Amino acid sequence: MTDPLNQQLEHRSDGQRKMFSSSFSVICLLVSSLAIVVLATLLFSIFVTGGTWLNLEFLTASHRENNPEESGIGQAIVGSLVICSICGLVALPIGVGTAIFLEEFQPRRRILRMFHGLIQLNINNLAGVPSIVYGILGLTAFVYMFGAFHSIRINGQPDYEIGATYSYQVKTLGGQYVKFPARAKLQPTIEIQDSRTVTDSSGKRFKLNVFSPIDEESTLAKTRSKSVIRGTQAQLINREGADLYEAATIDGRSFTFPAKPTYSQFAKILEPITVTGPDGKSFELNVLSKSEAIPTDELVKARSVFADSPDPNKRSSASIFRENSFFHMHLPFSKSVLSAGLTLALVILPIVIIASQEAIRGVPQTLREAAFGMGATRWQVVRGAVLPSATPGIMTGAILAMSRAIGEAAPLLAVMGGVLGTTNHLSSLMDRTPVLPVTIFKWAGDENQGFEHLAAAAIIVLLAFLLMMNSVAILIRHRYEKKLA
Amino acid sequence: MSNDSAAPAELLTAETNSKPSFRIRSSSSSKRWQAIVVTGLVLCSLVSLLTTIGIIVMLVVESWGFFADSRIELWKFLTGTKWTVGQTQGSLSYGIWPLLSGTLRITGIAMMISLPMGLISAVYLSEYASKRIRSFLKPTLEILAGIPTVVLGFFAVKFITPYMLEPLGDFKTFNATSAGMAVGILCLPLVTSLAEDALQAVPNRLREGAYGLGSTRLEVTLKVVVPAALSGIISAFLLALARAIGETMVVSLAAGSTPTFTLDPRMPSQTMTGFIVETFKSESVVPGTLSYFSIYAVGTVLFLITFGITLIGQIIRMRYREVYD
C-alpha cells in the first residue's frame, strides 16, 4: 500500500495512533448523539407549543375559519383513517401479490426472466420517486382520468354517475324546507370549464384548450383556433335530431359537442306542485302571488310559498339539492376520498413490495423443500408453507408502510386540494375530506398565529397514531421472531 | 420505523434459486388453480409497471401542452432566470432556474448536514458502538426516520428559523437555510441506515486481518472497512440526494413561495416541489390553463433528476459492489 494516508500514519508513534483512534471514537459519539438532541428538541418544542391545546373538544370539533379556539381535528382524524384504510385495502393485496410473484415464481425462460428483472428494477426505482410526483399522477389518472370523461363542472354533475338523487329545495313561508324531485333537462346555455374533445364544422375532432382569464390570450394562429377562455358560453342547438352545444374559439371558428342532460341550478315555482316536507310527508304546495297576504294559520303558512317574493329568505326559487347514497360513484373520480386513497396506495406500493419480499426471503428453504416433497404445486407451497411463516414479517412491513401513508401530505394536497373542513359528514367515497397532515400544513402556514398551537396539537395526535402503529409492529416482530428462529 | 425508499432488495437472490430437482406431481385441478393464481399475481406486478408508464406518459403528454403553447419556448424554459408562472400580475417569465436553483441550494445545505453526520453515525454504529449505546441510538434514528415531513416543516418554520437562525443574522421568515437544515435532519436516518448496512456487509475477516497487522480501530475503519463499503456508501448518498431533491412539505412550509435566483441562503427560495404544492394549494388549477401545464413541465424536470440519481445509485450498488463469497 502506498496511499498517502498510510505513509503519514507509518511515521506516527503507537501512542499517537492510539490517541487518534480513541479521540475519533469520541467525535463519533458526539456526532451520533446529535440525532438524539435533535429528536428531543423537536418533540419538546412541539409539546410546549401544542400540549395545552390538546383536549377532547379539539379532538372532535372541526375547523373554524379565524377561530382557533373552537377549531378541532374531528373530521381530519376520520378522513385520515378512511383514506388510509382505502390505501391499505388496495396496496396490501397488490403489494404482497407482486412480492410473491417476484420471489416464488421465478421463471426459467429467458424472456420471462427479463420481465422479472425489469419489474424488480422498476420497483426499486419507484421507491425513489418523490411523493409529489405520485400526487400529480393521482390528479391526472384518478381526478381527471386523463381527460377521457369531460365534465361540465358548473353544476357539479359528472357525466357518469350512480347513487345520487337530485331534488329541488325551497323554504316555505313557515320556515320549513320542502323538496321535490328534479327532472333532468337541457340547459339553453352552459359555461365551458374544462378542456374537452369537440367537433368543428367540417366534422374534424380536436382537443379544445381552455385558458383562464388570468392567463394571457394565446397569440399564435394555430393555438387560437383551438382555444377558448374559461367560462365561454355554449348555446344549445338541435342539429339533425341531436342535441348539441355550440360555441366559437377565440379565432371565431365554431365547434360543437354533444349535450348531456343536466339539472339547472334553480327552478322557479309558478304553480302548485307536490312536495315532501321535512317529516317525509307529501302535500300540495300553495303558491301565492305577491299581492296576497301572508296566511295566518301556521299549518297553511308552512305549506305556502310566494310565487315571486322580493325577500330572499322567502324566495320561491328552489335550488338544486343533491343527496348521495353511501355507494355514490362517478367518473372521473374527481377530488375525492377514493382518488386520495388510490394515490396513497401507489405511494406505498413499492414499500409494501420490498418489505414483503424481504419477509418471504426470510422463510427457510427447508420449509419449501418439505412441501414440494409432499407433492404440492408451487402455489400450494406458497399458500401452505411460505405465506404463513412470512405473515409476521409482511404484517410488520405493511404497518410501517401504513404509518408512512398516514403522515403523507403532498400527494393528498395534490388530489384533494387544501380542504380544511366540509359542511357534510363523510358519507361516500366521492366526498372530499380534510386529513391530518394537510390540516397541519394549512394551519402551520396560517396567518392567524393561534393556529400554530393547533398545528402542534394536531402533530401530537399524528405522532400518537404513529407510535401506536409502530408499537403494534414491534410487538408482532418480537412475538413471532422467536418462533421461527 | 421504516427506512422507506429502496431498502436492500437484492441481497439474497442467490438463495432462492435452488429449485427441487424432482418432478412435482399434482392433480390437474390444482394445476389449473395455480394457473389462475399466477395470472392474478402477474396482474398485481403489472400495477407497478403501469405506474411507471403512467407517470412517463402523463408527464410527456401534459408537458407537451405546456411547450405547445405559443408563449413558451423550450430554450427559454431551460435557460431563463425568472419565473412568474401562476402570478396574476406582471409579464410572463418561465425560466426554470429560480426553482431549480432553489432546489439545489436547499439540497446542498441538507447534504452538508446529512452526509458527514450520517456517515460518521454509521461508522460509529457499525464499528465502535457498544451494544448498550446501539440499543439507544438505533431506535432514535428509526423514530426520526418515521417523523412525517410536514412535522419537520413545522419544526423548521416555528423553531429553527425564529430560535436558531434569526439571532444569527438577517434571515428572512422563510429562508433556504432553515428548510435545508430540516431536510438534512430528514435525510440523516436514511444515510445512516443505508451506510451502516453497507459497512456491516464487509466481512469480519477483513477487519481481523487488519487488526492482526497491528492497526488501530481508526485505521481499520478508514483504510479497510470504509473503502470496502464505498459503493454502498455512495449509493446511500445518492438515495439521500434524490430524497432531498424530491422533498416537498418541508420546503413549502419553510422556504417560502418566492422564486429567487440568488446564492444567499438567508433569502426565501421556492423549489420545484414548492411551486407544485403552491399551485395545488391555491386550488386554481384548471385543466387546460398554462399554470396547470406548468406543473407537469416542472414535474418532468423533477422526475428526470430524481429518477436519474436513483438509477445511478442502483447501478453503482450493483456493479461496483465488492463481492465476498
> Considering the domain boundaries, does residue B5 fall inside one?
no
Separation between Cα atoms, residue A323 and residue A75, nearest integer Å: 20
What integer pLDDT is reported at residue A458 of this predicted model?
A: 92
> Considering the domain boundaries, does residue B82 fall inside one?
no
Residues contacting residue A232 through CB under 8 Å, at least 6 positions apart: A191, A192, A247
Would you call A357 and B9 a contact, using CB atoms and an 8 Å cutoff? yes
Work out the average pLDDT over B228-236. 89
CATH code, domain with B252:
1.10.3720.10
| Residue A16 contacts B, CB cutoff 8 Å | no
Q: pLDDT band for A460, please (50, 70, 90 cuts).
A: very high
List for chain B the helix, strand, coil content (%; round to 5): 70, 0, 30
**Which of B48, B52, B115, B282 is the mutation pick for testing A, counting most A CBs within 10 A?**
B48
Residues contacting residue B30 through CB under 8 Å, at least 6 positions apart: A377, A379, A380
Would you call A440 and B12 a contact, using CB atoms and an 8 Å cutoff? no
**Of A95-99, A115-119, B13-17, which gets the smallest average pLDDT?**
B13-17
Are B46 and B152 contained in the same domain? no
What integer pLDDT is reported at residue A11 of this predicted model?
A: 63
**Which of A18, A103, A113, A124 is the mutation pick for testing B, counting most B CBs within 10 A?**
A124
| Residue A264 contacts B, CB cutoff 8 Å | no
Joined together, the cell numbers standing for residue A35 give 440525532
What integer pLDDT is reported at residue A97 of this predicted model?
A: 94
Work out the average pLDDT over B20-34. 65
Peptide bond preceding A181 in cis form (omega within 30 of 0): no
Work out the average pLDDT over A264-273. 76
What integer pLDDT is reported at residue A7 of this predicted model?
A: 54
Work out the average pLDDT over A249-254. 82
Of A87 and A336, the one with more pLDDT: A87
What integer pLDDT is reported at residue B13 of this predicted model?
A: 43
User: Which amino acid type is present at position B320?
Assistant: Y
H or E stretch at B74: helix B74-79
Residue whose grid cell is 405511494: A347
> Considering the domain boundaries, does residue B73 fall inside one?
no
Of B155 and A273, the one with more pLDDT: B155
CB A259 within 8 A of CB A150: no
For residue A122, what are the CA distances in angstroms to A104, A116, A298, A321, B45?
18, 10, 71, 47, 10
Are B161 and B290 contained in the same domain? yes
Joined together, the cell numbers standing for residue A172 give 316555505
Joined together, the cell numbers standing for residue A424 give 357534510
> Considering the domain boundaries, does residue B168 fall inside one?
yes
Whether ipTM > 0.85 holds is yes
Residues contacting residue A26 through CB under 8 Å, at least 6 positions apart: none
Work out the average pLDDT over A13-31. 84
pLDDT of A230 > 90? The answer is no
Q: pLDDT band for B8, please (50, 70, 90 cuts).
A: very low
Q: pLDDT band for B21, please (50, 70, 90 cuts).
A: very low
* pLDDT tens digit sequence for A360-408: 998 999 999 999 998 888 888 998 889 988 988 899 899 989 999 999 9
What integer pLDDT is reported at residue B108 of this predicted model?
A: 94
Residue A223 has its nearest CB partner, among B37, B55, B70, at: B70
The alpha-helical segments, DSSP class H, found in A285-383 are: 298-302, 337-361, 365-373, 378-381
Looking only at the bridges linking them, the beta strands covering A242-248 and A266-268 are: unpaired
| Residue A45 contacts B, CB cutoff 8 Å | yes
Q: pLDDT band for B10, please (50, 70, 90 cuts).
A: very low
Work out the average pLDDT over A134-154. 77
pLDDT of B283 > 50? The answer is yes
Work out the average pLDDT over B205-211. 90
Work out the average pLDDT over B256-260. 83
Are B56 and B107 contained in the same domain? no
For residue A420, what are the CA distances in angstroms to A62, A375, A423, A460, B119?
8, 58, 10, 18, 41
Q: pLDDT band for A416, please (50, 70, 90 cuts).
A: confident
Residue whose grid cell is 490517541: A19
Are B142 and B210 contained in the same domain? yes
Q: Specify the number of domains making up chain B.
A: 2
| Residue A18 contacts B, CB cutoff 8 Å | yes
Closest to B184 measured CA to CA, from B258, B115, B267 = B115
Residue A28 has its nearest CB partner, among B120, B248, B290, at: B120
Work out the average pLDDT over B151-158. 92
What integer pLDDT is reported at residue B106 of this predicted model?
A: 93
Separation between Cα atoms, residue A388 and residue A371, nearest integer Å: 13
The alpha-helical segments, DSSP class H, found in A362-429 are: 365-373, 378-381, 387-407, 410-416
Separation between Cα atoms, residue B165 and residue A248, nearest integer Å: 56
Q: What are phi and psi of A445, to 5 degrees?
A: -95, 5
What integer pLDDT is reported at residue A315 of this predicted model?
A: 55
Joined together, the cell numbers standing for residue B249 give 412539505
CA R_g for chain B: 24
Work out the average pLDDT over B45-52. 92
Are B216 and B141 contained in the same domain? yes
Question: In terms of residue numbers, what domain contains B138?
Answer: 97-319
pLDDT of B3 > 50? The answer is no
> Considering the domain boundaries, does residue B250 fall inside one?
yes
Sign for the pseudo-dihedral over CA of A408, A409, A414, A415: positive
Are B59 and B119 contained in the same domain? no
Work out the average pLDDT over A160-177. 79
Question: A375: left (phi > 0), else alpha (psi -120 to 50), else beta?
Answer: left
CB B254 within 8 A of CB B178: yes
Of B129 and B110, the one with more pLDDT: B110
> Chain A 285-324, CB below 8 Å of chain B: which residues?
none
Would you call A130 and B71 a contact, using CB atoms and an 8 Å cutoff? no
User: Which amino acid type is present at position B231?
Assistant: S
> Considering the domain boundaries, does residue B85 fall inside one?
no
pLDDT of A231 > 90? The answer is no
Q: pLDDT band for B19, please (50, 70, 90 cuts).
A: low
Residue A31 has its nearest CB partner, among B52, B121, B189, at: B121
Of B93 and B207, the one with more pLDDT: B207
Separation between Cα atoms, residue B273 and residue B279, nearest integer Å: 10
> Considering the domain boundaries, does residue B154 fall inside one?
yes
Proportion of chain A above pLDDT 90, given as a percent: 25
Residues contacting residue A277 through CB under 8 Å, at least 6 positions apart: A176, A178, A283, A302, A303
Separation between Cα atoms, residue B140 and residue B272, nearest integer Å: 31
**Of A55-69, A444-458, B1-15, which gets the smallest average pLDDT?**
B1-15
| Residue A445 contacts B, CB cutoff 8 Å | yes
Residue whose grid cell is 405465506: A387
B192-222 per-residue burial string, b: 16 or more CB within 10 A, e: under 16: bbbbbbbbbbbeeebbeebeeeebbbbbbbb
Are B101 and B64 contained in the same domain? no
Classified as helix, coil or strand, A294 is: coil
What integer pLDDT is reported at residue A218 of this predicted model?
A: 46
pLDDT of A464 > 70? The answer is yes
Separation between Cα atoms, residue A380 and residue B106, nearest integer Å: 52
Domains of chain A plus CATH, in order, are: 53-140+334-484 (1.10.3720.10), 153-185+264-331 (no CATH), 189-258 (no CATH)
What integer pLDDT is reported at residue A482 of this predicted model?
A: 59
Are B62 and B154 contained in the same domain? no
**Of A299-308, B214-223, B309-318, which gets the smallest average pLDDT?**
A299-308
Of A281 and A270, the one with more pLDDT: A281
What integer pLDDT is reported at residue A131 of this predicted model?
A: 92
Are B38 and B155 contained in the same domain? no
CB A150 within 8 A of CB A159: yes
Q: pLDDT band for A273, please (50, 70, 90 cuts).
A: confident
Classified as helix, coil or strand, B277 is: helix
Looking only at the bridges linking them, the beta strands covering A254-258 and A304-306 are: unpaired
Residues contacting residue A388 through CB under 8 Å, at least 6 positions apart: none
For residue A142, what are the CA distances in angstroms to A130, A306, A342, B297?
18, 45, 8, 19
Are B37 and B163 contained in the same domain? no
Q: pLDDT band for A481, please (50, 70, 90 cuts).
A: low
What integer pLDDT is reported at residue A154 of this predicted model?
A: 44
What integer pLDDT is reported at residue B22 of this predicted model?
A: 44
Are B129 and B271 contained in the same domain? yes
Residue of A nearest to B273 (CA): A132
List of chain A residues whose C-beta atoms are within 8 Å of the C-beta of residue B154: 46, 440, 444, 455-456, 459
Q: Estimate to the nearest angstrom the gap between the alpha carbon of B57 and the chain centroid.
A: 22
Nearest 10 degrees: Cα torsion A365, A369, A372, A374: -130
Residue B153 has its nearest CB partner, among A105, A208, A444, at: A444
Please report how many Cα atoms fall inside a 13 Å half-sphere around the Cα of residue A333, on the Cβ side.
23
CB A429 within 8 A of CB A163: no
**According to the per-residue pLDDT averaged within each range, which of A2-11, A338-347, B229-238, B290-299 is highest?**
A338-347
> Considering the domain boundaries, does residue B91 fall inside one?
no
Work out the average pLDDT over B181-209. 91
Are B169 and B270 contained in the same domain? yes
pLDDT of A169 > 60? The answer is yes
